[in-house]
């Protein structure tokens, strides 16, 4: 699925209907910022919003995901293509999560090995400092890589309104977290809480 194409399709349909972003947002009981994000290709509308959005725009879910009008003959084919795209996206998210765990684990092992080398091997002071500096650089690079992979793997669900969203990297890094939840601010309702990680839509 091409999020930018879907965004352009939403914009075109909204304008055909003579609606502003604010008017469409009011119909859907969401913020105009959310409409703008969808139209700019910043993400697909969340699952709970798909049907109301399609109804407001006078299109099918198939057409919304395809980013264009779909003829009746190709409807089934397009539905299958959209389903395969969703499955592929979910698999990609799972791969990112696994890679982030692997990256984090390798980083821990590498940093521990470097710390042991610096602590127990008889090295000149300069070499010991170099090994410790390498350990710090390895830790920063590994943790950063794992965070980037993990942040892009799926969505977080607001406990208040149920919206699915991807946090900014800054928010992701600052958010207190457990294994399955992270304290974030929902871009839909503005509520801050422990949002649950969702790998699949």
Radius of gyration of the chain (CA): 22
Number of H helices, E strands in the chain: 8, 4
**Whole-angstrom Cα distance, residue 97 to residue 73?**
38
CA distances from 97 to 14, 29, 101, 138, 164 (A): 36, 33, 6, 20, 17
Domain end position, chosen among 70, 97, 129: 70
- The per-residue pLDDT for range 27-79, each reduced to its tens digit, is 888 888 888 888 887 777 777 788 888 899 998 888 888 888 877 766 677 77
Task: Name the H helices within 67-154.
Answer: 75-120, 125-151
Number of domains the chain contains: 3
Q: What is the CATH number of the domain that holds 12?
A: 1.10.260.40
**Whole-angstrom Cα distance, residue 198 to residue 166?**
10
- The per-residue pLDDT for range 125-157, each reduced to its tens digit, is 899 899 999 999 999 999 888 888 887 777 888
- Residue 2: is its pLDDT beyond 80? no
Domain of residue 169, residue span: 155-198
Q: What is the DSSP letter of 177?
A: B
What pLDDT, on the 0 to 100 scale, is given for residue 75?
A: 66
**Contact in structure between 79 and 68 (CB atoms under 8 Å):** no
**Contact in structure between 53 and 45 (CB atoms under 8 Å):** yes
**Whole-angstrom Cα distance, residue 159 to residue 22?**
25
List residues bridging with 185 in a β-sheet.
192
Q: Which of 8-17, 56-65, 103-112, 126-135 has the lowest mean pLDDT?
A: 56-65
Q: Are 122 and 100 found together in one domain? A: yes
Nearest CA to 29 out of 159, 188, 184, 182 is that of 188
- The per-residue pLDDT for range 164-189, each reduced to its tens digit, is 888 888 888 888 888 788 999 888 78
Q: Are 64 and 81 found together in one domain? A: no
Mean pLDDT rounded to a whole number for the chain? 84
Per-residue confidence at 200, pLDDT binned at 50, 70, 90? low
Handedness of CA 107, 113, 115, 118 (dihedral sign): negative
Percent residues over pLDDT 70 in the chain: 95
Q: Are 105 and 132 found together in one domain? A: yes
SS3 at position 194:
strand
Q: Are 105 and 139 found together in one domain? A: yes
Q: Are 139 and 166 found together in one domain? A: no
What pLDDT, on the 0 to 100 scale, is given for residue 12?
A: 92
Q: Are 66 and 127 found together in one domain? A: no
Per-residue confidence at 109, pLDDT binned at 50, 70, 90? very high
- Residue 1: is its pLDDT beyond 70? no
**Contact in structure between 100 and 146 (CB atoms under 8 Å):** yes
What pLDDT, on the 0 to 100 scale, is given for residue 201?
A: 61
In this structure, what are the phi and psi dihedrals at residue 99, rounded to the nearest 5 degrees?
-60, -35
């Amino acid at each position: 699925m091409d999020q930018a194409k879907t965004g352009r399709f939403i914009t075109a349909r909204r304008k055909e209907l003579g609606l502003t972003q604010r008017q469409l947002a009011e119909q859907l009981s969401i913020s105009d910022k959310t409409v703008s994000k969808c139209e700019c290709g910043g993400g697909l509308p969340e699952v709970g919003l798909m049907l109301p959005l399609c109804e407001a725009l006078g299109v099918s879910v198939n057409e919304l995901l395809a980013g264009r009008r779909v003829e009746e003959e190709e409807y089934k084919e397009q539905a299958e293509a959209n389903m395969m795209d969703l499955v592929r996206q979910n698999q990609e998210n799972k791969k990112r999560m696994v890679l982030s765990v692997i990256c984090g684990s390798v980083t821990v092992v590498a940093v521990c090995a470097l710390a042991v080398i610096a602590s127990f091997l008889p090295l000149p002071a300069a070499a010991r400092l170099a090994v410790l500096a390498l350990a710090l650089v390895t830790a920063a690079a590994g943790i950063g890589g794992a965070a980037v992979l993990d942040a892009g793997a799926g969505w977080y669900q607001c406990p208040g309104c149920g919206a699915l969203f991807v946090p900014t990297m800054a928010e992701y890094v600052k958010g207190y977290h457990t294994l399955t939840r992270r304290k974030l601010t929902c871009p839909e309702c503005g509520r801050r809480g422990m949002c649950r990680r969702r790998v699949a839509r």
